[in-house]
Structure 1
């Protein structure tokens, strides 16, 4: 827990406020210092019937509010452990202004962790650019892959980039706090939304750097090589179905009572089903349209096919899984039925403060009373010649995970210096092809994970070449496993389990994202693990959490997105829900898991006792839409899908530009910005003085959009964005994945980095999105080959003899290549 930690929140934006909310939920005393007129968030949409901001009511939970004079602010920061600020160029808070203030604070408090959130970071060619939720989404490469292929790219239904920025900043804050508490050295933590979002791309970046392929929009279908994987209609709405493996395809056909599809050559592989999706839909849609979503979900889940209803933000509040886990926090001061998401994990994160958001300046007197006049409680650090170690140096993480969320959390730990031992079955790397073109499948090897590996028809190999050892050349896998060690171990074998027990005895953290029953059946529940190692941190990162009626359901990112209610917020005006172009909940779950791990590790160090963290990826994702939950529970009306438009600003949209599927995102923040835009376009239709008022621009939004689109259509998207930025208008190109890997700003901030691999060669991957001034993450070792560290782990760490090691290798308990 972050108990005993004082946090001063200065930002005034969603990113800094969500970072503060997470720290407050972990037990920190978070004081949000507001100007006399209140935080800008207090007037942010969506608004409640009484005029309060649902956004502020959500992000202000568990905090105190104070209105302080400059001298008092300096004094409280001198006593603080963490200060959080946020760049807002529109409000004059440029990177230079914010950094200067934070560096002044650091000079007075050397142990201070100074966190700054921003759209583009404190450095780089875009640092001083204006932005918005829409522009952040576009420049992070997500607009280009979200929406229908024959329509304009789509923004997310909410300020997801800002939430990711704040969530990533919370990881940086906890990592830097660990360094400060161990060494006395504070530091500046620089987190940009563009960096954070780039780090969460599923395989867009890898497609570009490994094969030069541009990822496109695909509506509600999967964009690459699976079907059905996406949102499909049913009798009473829609469901999301994820068939991504041979076993899931078999289960799908059996659930629909259509076993004949298994013998149909048109649908033999995931690639075949993708190519013949229209023919397959013609067969399965009548079955779906005859049945309600509850029946469909239950039948498919019984056959081990990840499936969920597509809920909206109102109906998700009646979900039995979330209710069983006590996820909803009542907010009676806002109304009898008003609720908000509580906290996304069960474990040390407990939320010590009051659940409601504070009134403006409600705690000013108590905050001032806490200050000792003229004194500073923070001692200066002991001078050191050597730089401090990385925050997690000396920490060992044992990772049992698949797909994305678990590997991402473990990768963050590895990047931060932890010794991450990835334990994988010898047959687990089946997501590729053998040199002869036959799928690599080892279903029996996945009994302890209960998820057969997907069989890509081509994989994402360097230059589309599987090579002689394709299991070591898959780009998406290698992206997730950098800086780790690999132990290829069969846990079905008792000898393998004994190796695992000895490994746990040497570990600080055990991380997994399997369904809860998987490790329980192997004898590694929390009770057993803590008996082996009474100081271990155990984190379970399953889709639905380790308790509740859905605990053992299968899930993928699109499944959780549909279930969360947030998929229903994204879509074209007047149309249906549209899934994100990447499995966004996985990234959110991985980041939340990293934050929870750092918090739990601090609690373990404080008490010396084992800690269990029960994380639900579903709850982690719902938590980035808390304002919609509050507003919807207050009004009993779910939010309408609004395409690329804003609840508060007009005009805003994504407009066509010259070239193949090129677009620019534009947000007009003010009347002055509108005048600048109209002056650039030089169209008499936009010269009407009535349009100097936002309300009139909103009323005539369609006509304005048409004029802007006509102006941008024959111009380059990058040139339009630069022209508008120079005029004071927030704008940015909707970057494709190919443009992202060449982007000068991402490269200047080390967000596209080359990594060497013995089998895959040198390829570029996303970098580390948290820029730590004193403990920078600069080491990027290639992903381990399968079983690369078997001998080092067993013999050097665990004390196995050479003969014992050879016997395990001969028996297939450990391996360095998949079983044939």
Structure 2
């Protein structure tokens, strides 16, 4: 089994990058770092990013010569993919569209569309108009920008994923990525929930909006993220703090209602502790604690060093993509080029990052089978398996749903029979969970040698933190994102939603699509070890590499509420499932959206009868 930070998954793809802004630059980075040949055309006033552009071939031209340069490159380049964005001048867009029309049978054209209010710098305008600033910061003070480049990184990653979906389906023509829909999709279900309930969420401060404790606290030598929202986690934390149980804080709802007093109590305790002790001891207790790291702390992180995350001896030498690839070298299969609509994906993930990743495949027609434990269903379902929460419906539409208790030998046997006829398996457990189930890579590949296995864990499958657990705020604290966000008083701030979750999910989607591309050429079974920690660091990559960026501006110019988003002329793309419920759409258009149908998320165990029929006949009669 071969292992490495694979940079050849997309070897052979030829991409012409005509984008002006950082979103397109990040899309090009994902392609270039994955082995594609990327050529970027830049004029004199365009910014070059060491982080985004280091592996690209650069063609420099002037504004006056740009039309001629584009025409020349399209005439002689034999490009597979052309990337461009709506920052291009109208006369150039018209010329480019005409040129692309002439080669539409041999080239895929991908355009990123931005609202007219978003300038070429993109980041802060996207955060303002996408509702991010309305949710981030103190409700009694001005809203905050989230530090780094999270919005443009997400738009870029979605652009790269949309491109690969179209390419693998052998689409030659036009794809449009809607940047506003991307950034609104990041809001942790806020937009879909508003469409269904009319509820408008507001800023709640430096904490999670519904779970307590999930916040940043001061300690002796810095700050720590303390997370213990589940009852058993809170009971353990109370004992560690040396406190008698408080009956007024016994339930999730009671802790949320009493958060000022509860957080004051925790702060009194953490101020006598060091951050390293809080982080490592908390994780030893399986609590999703995080060390709130500065950029310098991230650069010195022993876990990242042991996973060879830096390209050279120093972080300024470059940042790897957030995954490690394992190739099943003894297996090379033929005829792995079937349509995405014939893929079967076993989805063991829960909460946000993993379900978002697989939902994008489901929206493209893949058969996604969501596997939940009957005793521990997906935590986003809500209080009733029969009436899932709007966010659960958003993340799990178009999927089948079955229940299996993989602790039981008989249930594992059923699961392995499904593995034998599946193409992709994805989980977001910590590494010990699949090992405890006896479902190692070797066992899974014995059932299906061509299986692509993705592990979407918090810290990856290797390194000293491999068994540590984390929620989105854990990773935003660890990655340096929180330290780049705040009011200039030295206190790090959490984003108003778990931005790292969708970041991990969309990077997982791109990695799976790149793995499918590689497999079609070489036939290997593959395992992808994606670290959500490393994915979060991608969102601030320029700050790690350049080391010269100015601080994030303090006060946003604009702040768009969810209610305003839903009624403005330039609003996110929406879909409606067959039960009449509205939801935010996949943020791109490849085919005619009128030809697509959307089924609601499955109830808990809804498709168990299909599983039993499959066990008897080895045929899965997909009814979606």
Q: TM-score, normalised by structure 1?
A: 0.69
| Partner deviation per Cα, 1:634-678 (whole Å, 9 max, x = no partner) | x7xx9645313xxxxxxxx42xxxxxxxxxx2xxxxxxxxxxxxx
2: CA distance between counterparts of 1:776 and 1:175?
18
Counterparts of 2:111 and 2:376 in 1: how far apart (Å)? 40
Partner residue, 2:34? 26
Alignment length (residue pairs): 596
Q: Which moved more, 1:786-795 or 1:103-112?
A: 103-112
Q: 1:614 aligns with which of 519, 529, 532?
A: 529
Q: In structure 1, what is the Cα distance between the partners aligned to 2:585 and 2:446?
A: 38
After TM superposition, give the deviation of residue 286 of structure 1 in Å.
Answer: 1.8
Task: Give the match's secondary structure for 2:311.
Answer: strand
Counterpart Cα distance in 2 of 1:237 and 1:133: 28
1:85 match: secondary structure:
strand
- On the 8 A contact 1:188/1:773 being kept in 2, the answer is no
Q: Secondary structure of 1:550's partner?
A: coil
Larger of the two Rg values belongs to structure: 1
Q: Secondary structure at the match of 2:617?
A: coil
Matched, 1:394 2:342: yes
Matched, 1:315 2:297: yes
Separation in structure 2 between the aligned mates of residue 288 and residue 232 of structure 1, nearest angstrom: 7
CA distance in 1, matches of 2:348, 2:216: 29
Q: Which residue of 2 aligns with 1:285?
A: 267
CA shift in 2, pair 1:552/1:102, >3 Å: farther
1:642 and 2:464 are equivalent in the alignment: no
Contact 2:451 2:525 in 1 (8 A): yes
Judge conservation of contact 2:74–2:99 (CA < 8 Å) in 1: no
1:98 to 83, 93, 98: 93
| Aligned positions of 1:461-540 closer than 5 A | 469-540=384-455
Helix, strand or coil at the partner of 2:540: helix
* Counterpart secondary structure, 2:599: coil
Give the match for residue 74 of structure 1. Answer: 74
**1:782 is the counterpart of 2:607:** no
Assess if the C-alpha contact under 8 Å between 2:203 and 2:496 holds in 1: yes
In structure 2, the residue matched to 1:14 is 22
Give the CA RMSD over aligned residues: 2.6
Q: Distance in 1 between matches of 2:96 and 2:129?
A: 28
What's 1:297 paired with? 279
Contact 1:391 1:416 in 2 (8 A): no
Q: How does 1:78-157 map to 2 (within 5 A)?
A: 79-88=78-87, 93-94=89-90, 97-98=92-93, 101-120=96-115, 132-157=122-147
Deviation, structure 1 residue 569:
0.9
Matched, 1:755 2:573: no
Assess if the C-alpha contact under 8 Å between 1:503 and 1:798 holds in 2: no
What residue is the counterpart of 1:688 in the other structure? none
Residue matched to 1:49: none
**SS of residue in 1 equivalent to 2:368:** strand
The residue that corresponds to 1:596 in the other structure is: 511
Q: Check the 8 A contact 2:222/2:292 in 1, yes or no.
A: yes
Cα deviations by residue, 1:173-197 (Å, 9 ceiling, x for unpaired): 11111122xxxx4121211221111
Which runs of no fewer than 5 residues in structure 1 stay unpaired?
Answer: 43-55, 121-125, 350-388, 433-452, 454-458, 460-465, 645-652, 655-664, 666-733, 803-820
Alignment partners' CA distance in 2, 1:798 and 1:87: 54
What is the alpha-carbon distance in structure 2 between the residues aligned to residue 339 and residue 793 of structure 1?
Answer: 50
Equivalent-residue separation in structure 2 for 1:486 and 1:70 (angstroms): 48
Does residue 271 (structure 1) correspond to residue 264 (structure 2)? The answer is no
Q: CA deviation at 1:775?
A: 8.1
Cα distance in structure 1, aligned partners of 2:324 and 2:136: 32
Matches of 1:343 and 1:620, distance apart in 2: 8
CA contact (8 A) 1:141 1:736 kept: yes
CA distance in structure 2 between the partners assigned to 1:477 and 1:133 by the alignment:
28
CA deviation vs aligned residue, 1:255-311 (integer Å, no higher than 9, x gap):
3233x12xx221011111111112212322221001110001112111111001111
Q: Deviations over 1:200-253 (max 9, x none)?
A: 2213124323332211112212222x2110211111111112222112212322
Which stretches in structure 2 are left out of the alignment for 5+ residues? Answer: 1-8, 62-68, 328-336
Q: 1:550 to 1:767 in 2, by over 3 A?
A: same
2:352 counterpart (404, 426, 433): 404
The residue aligned with 2:11 is 3
Counterpart for residue 235 of structure 1: 220
- Alpha-carbon distance between aligned partners in 1 of 2:422 and 2:358, rounded to the nearest angstrom: 13
Deviation at 1:745, TM superposition (A): 2.4
Distance in 2 separating the partners of 1:777 and 1:520:
42
**Structure-2 change in CA distance of 1:489 and 1:17 (3 Å):** same
Q: 1:735 aligns with which of 557, 560, 566?
A: 560
Provide the secondary structure at the position in 1 that maps to 2:295. coil
Q: Which runs of 4+ in 1 moved over 6 A?
A: 127-131, 774-777
The CA distance in 2 between the partners of 1:777 and 1:517, in whole Å, is 43
Aligned to 1:419: 367
Quote the offset at 1:427 in angstroms.
2.6
TM-superposition CA deviations, 1:504-528 (whole Å, max 9, x none): 0010000111111111111111111
1:134-182 Cα deviation digits (max 9, x unpaired)? 22111111110001001122112133221111110000111111122xx
Mark the CA change 1:586 to 1:430 in structure 2 (over 3 Å): closer, same or farther.
closer
Change (3 A) 1:275 1:414: same
Aligned: 1:189 with 2:180: no
Closer/same/farther in 2, CA of residues 499 and 796 from structure 1, 3 Å limit: closer
The reply to whether residue 342 of structure 1 matches residue 324 of structure 2 is no
Structure 1 CA distance, aligned partners of 2:50 and 2:487? Answer: 28
